[in-house]
Amino acid sequence: MNASVLQLYRNGKKISDGQKAGVFVTGDLNMGICRNPVNGRISCEACLLGDGGTQLITSIYDANCVVIAGYGLRLRGVEFTGGREVAQEWWCLPSNKAGATPVDSIEGKA
């Protein structure tokens, strides 16, 4: 799914509204079953990929959808930073084309 993603946590701590405003990353949002890279157990991974499959932001593991709203969804899980698990949530908005801004997508301009 082509989406614009806003990370809601940094190093396991919630990012303030003032710091996160407008910091969306647009790419191909994927979720699927994988092996956790640290402990090897089965997990659900969410990742945001760019052209050629390059990873745009750190994947989250044990990902689950906690909110589905009229124009977006919220994913929650953990990411690995410095060898430790930390909380992470993403606010994801659909994007009709690469590079579309979330506002364009919400208002149907994309």
Per the structure, the complete domain to which residue 41 belongs is given by: 2-107
Average of pLDDT values for 8-27? 83
Q: How many domains does the chain have?
A: 1
| pLDDT tens track for 66-101 | 999 988 999 999 998 888 899 999 999 998 754 555
Provide the pLDDT for residue 5. Answer: 94
CATH code of residue 27: 2.30.29
How far is Cα 37 from Cα 43, in angstroms, rounded to an integer? 9
Provide the pLDDT for residue 21. Answer: 60
Provide the pLDDT for residue 22. Answer: 65
| pLDDT tens track for 20-39 | 666 899 999 999 999 988 88
Q: Which ranges constitute the DSSP H helices of the chain?
A: 17-20, 102-107
Is 64:73 a contact under the CB 8 Å cutoff? Answer: no
